[in-house]
Amino acid sequence: MTAQGFLLLLELVGVFAFALDGALSAMRAAHLDLFGVVTLGIVTAVGGGILRDVLLGELPPATFRTWYYLATATAGALTAFWGHRLVSRMSRPILVFDTIGLSLFAVSGAQLAVHAGVGAGQAILLGGLTAVGGGTLRDVLVRQVPTILTGGLYAVPALAGAAVAVTGPLLGLEAGVAAFAGGAVCAGLRVGGVLGGWRAPSAPRSAREGLDG
């Protein structure tokens, strides 16, 4: 298998995991039928990449130029719908796949943005958007506060990984090395957030009480 084929395989694993996790999250948040579960699973898996391509003017988005992204996302959502009792117990494997997807999407989204000619800051933001945009759309559709706004380490690892992937070549690193380092940083922060309880700072309780009052 070529390096490009291996990266595609990893990306599809990430798409499957994102769709699986997105569909499960949607099922917990709302009473949905099969169509709703599959739709939100697909949105979670490919929504960020579609938003990135639209902002970059890459039309039609990559998701619609091939069949395997949508097919993989649909398979992940259907697995969640029909096997949710079994899948819900498999937290560790899903975390591994989800972390792979988050890291790959953050790094690849940022590098695609750089190749499209945008600046470093914009590329970092687009890398983060690729990784977390789909989950944010899902949360909005089920009328929840998006996960990235509630303090858990999800957007921060994606942005950190994208930043390493973008700034590494500017500092003299080879692009492949920078991409690997960015993915490792993203994965490390994400796993630390889940297993170590690391969280982004939250608004002070006194500020929230003052606003409520």
**Please, what is the Cα angle at 151 between 28 and 20, to 5 degrees?**
35
Q: Using one digit for the tens of pLDDT, what is the confidence trace for 168-203?
A: 999 988 888 998 899 999 999 988 877 776 666 666
**pLDDT, tens digit, for every residue of 53-106?**
999 998 899 889 999 999 999 999 998 888 877 766 666 666 777 788 888 899
Domain-embedded: residue 127: yes
Q: Is 38 part of a structural domain of the chain?
A: yes
Report whether pLDDT(167) > 90. yes
Beta partners for residue 199, in sequence order: 152
Domain contains 212:
no
**Torsion angle defined by CA atoms of residues 137, 79, 150 and 31, in that order, rounded to the nearest 10 degrees:** 80
Domain limits at 108?
3-196
Query: Maximum Cα–Cα distance for the chain, whole Å?
Result: 61
Is residue 209 included in any domain, yes or no? no
Identify whether 34 is part of a domain.
yes
With respect to residue 126, please indicate whether it lies within any of the assigned structural domains: yes
DSSP structural state of residue 153: S
**Considering its fold, how many domains does the chain have in total?**
1
Strand partners, 152: 199
Residue 139 within a domain:
yes
